[in-house]
């Protein structure tokens, strides 16, 4: 009788362990999916950052070369992205907004 109870307890423990293993595997799969998505998002952000830097550098190079409207280069990208500032927005306000965004993300 004691042996039967011990087998029943052992079987129950094995069932519980099996269920926990299945749940753990599902969680690992879910986390792996989140990691893949985060890596894709990071790659996209890096590409967008590299593009923005290239446009900013081209704007500076155009200004140094005497281009009559060097800002048009950067403005074109910002317009394409829907990121042009509203008319009358002060440069200081835009810089402060960018700084606060960086602070919120823990990037500085």
11 φ, ψ (degrees, to nearest 5): -60, -45
**pLDDT of 82 above 90:** yes
- Name the percent of the chain lying above pLDDT 90: 76
Domain assignment present for residue 107? The answer is no
Give me the domain span that covers residue 50: 2-84
Q: 12 falls in which pLDDT band (50, 70, 90)? A: confident
Q: Which three-class secondary structure string do you get for the chain?
A: CHHHHHHHHHHHHHHHHHHHHHHHHHHHHHHHHHHHHHHHHHHHHHHHHHHHHHHHHHHHHHHHCCCCCCHHHHHHHHHHHCCCCCCCCCHHHHHHHHHHHHHHCCCC
89 φ, ψ (degrees, to nearest 5): -70, 130
Domain assignment present for residue 91? The answer is no
Closest C-alpha among 39, 48, 41 to residue 82: 48
Q: 108 falls in which pLDDT band (50, 70, 90)? A: very low
Domain assignment present for residue 35? The answer is yes
Domain assignment present for residue 64? The answer is yes
Q: What angle do CA 92, 97, 100 make, to 5 degrees?
A: 125
Q: 101 falls in which pLDDT band (50, 70, 90)? A: confident
Domain assignment present for residue 96? The answer is no
Give me the number of domains the chain comprises: 1
Q: 90 falls in which pLDDT band (50, 70, 90)? A: very high
Domain assignment present for residue 106? The answer is no
Domain assignment present for residue 90? The answer is no
């Amino acid at each position: 009788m004691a042996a039967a109870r011990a087998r029943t307890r052992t079987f129950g423990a094995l069932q519980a362990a099996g269920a926990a293993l299945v749940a753990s595997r599902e969680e690992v799969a879910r986390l792996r999916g989140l990691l893949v998505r985060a890596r894709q998002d990071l790659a996209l952000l890096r590409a967008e950052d590299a593009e923005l830097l290239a446009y900013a550098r081209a704007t500076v190079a155009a200004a140094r070369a005497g281009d009559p409207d060097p800002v048009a280069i950067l403005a074109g990208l910002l317009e394409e992205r829907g990121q042009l500032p509203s008319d009358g927005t002060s440069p200081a306000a835009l810089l402060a907004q960018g700084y606060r965004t960086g602070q919120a993300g823990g990037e500085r």
